[in-house]
Amino acid sequence: MKILVTVKKTIDYNVQAQIASDGKSVVEDGVKMGFNPFCEIALEEAIRIAEKHPDVEITALTIGGDTEHDILRKSMAMGAHRSVLIEADNTLDTLHKAKILSAYIAKEHYDIILMGKQSIDGDHNHIPQMLSALLSWDMGLFCSEIEIKDKSIFIKREVDEGIISQTINLPCILSSDLRLNTPRFIPLPKIIQAKTKPIEKISLNSLEVDYTPEIERTALSLPEKRQKGEMVEDLDQLIEILKGVLK
């Protein structure tokens, strides 16, 4: 069984993002970057599956430039067997990324695509659904539990109403939620060993995907500051205030 885990480097979740001087992008130079938390959870789950099923091979994949090498090496230090970098310097929207992944997967044979449900920079939560549609594969979103059973997978999914249990067929797309697992601590020897492991590079042009920009970002702005709340003495006063607001 082959599992592909998509990973992404984002601004560290402890860092307060700042808008760049062009008003259209976010400052990344000199800013601490890290493993997108949901991608790290997805990779941890793939590793746990491999520990139970020794025939599993895990590939970590990201889209970007040479600056993404560290995130792939961390993936191999965690336990990924190989890593792939699809070289792309362009700013790609989520649909383009889904098409690129679809084209790559069409040339390889994977049984499971494990992804974070979203990245903490864009917070789009688009790509798992788009990729499932492009490949016509079953999908399980927001997984909080994954269990392989022969040629199917039993999952539990977190939704607004609670937990949904379902069985889906292979091949499939799975996206991880926060409660799926807690990623492991990586020992220093494994980090050192990962520095010498090869990273397979694939040219974006070789996948023959049209990635002409279709969306233009015109401006970024910070949300308005919340106004100070007003204290009320009793319920009657609150009702009068609400009547004024709802007029």
pLDDT at 167: 95
Q: Which pLDDT score, from 0 to 100, does residue 105 have?
A: 95
Q: Under a CB-based contact definition with an 8 Å cutoff, are residues 135 and 115 in contact?
A: no
Kindly give the pairing relationship between strand 57-64 and strand 2-6.
parallel
Strand partners, 33: 11
Query: In angstroms, rounded to a whole number, what is the distance separating the alpha carbons of residues 198 and 209?
Result: 25
The pLDDT of residue 142 is 94
Task: In whole angstroms, give the CA distance from residue 171 to residue 37.
Answer: 24
Yes or no: say if 168 and 158 are a contact pair by the CB < 8 Å rule: no
Q: Which helix (H) or strand (E) holds 236?
A: helix 235-246
> Which residues, at least 6 apart from 72, have a Cβ–Cβ distance to it below 8 Å?
7, 60, 62, 83, 84, 85, 199
Whole-angstrom CA distances from 52 to 46, 92, 181 are 10, 36, 15
Residue with tokens 């929207």, as numbered in its chain:
93
What's the confidence (pLDDT) of residue 200?
96
Q: What is the pLDDT along the chain (247 residues), one digit of tens a residue?
A: 999 999 999 998 888 888 888 888 888 888 889 899 999 999 999 999 999 998 999 999 999 988 899 999 999 999 999 999 999 876 788 999 999 999 999 999 899 999 999 998 888 899 999 999 999 999 999 999 999 987 889 999 988 888 999 999 999 999 999 999 999 999 999 999 999 999 999 999 899 888 888 888 888 888 888 888 888 889 999 998 888 887 7
Question: Measured between alpha carbons, how far is 131 from 237 in angstroms, rounded to an integer?
Answer: 52
Give the per-residue pLDDT at 81.
Answer: 96
Q: What pLDDT is stored for residue 224 in this prediction?
A: 85
How far is CA 231 from its chain centroid?
41
Widest pairwise Cα distance in the chain? 70
CA angle 173-129-101, nearest 5°? 65
Q: By the 8 A CB rule, do 200 and 76 touch?
A: no
Tell me the pTM. Answer: 0.87
Distance CA 20, CA 27 (A): 5
Residue 64's pLDDT is what? 92
In CATH, 2-246 is 3.30.70.1230: no
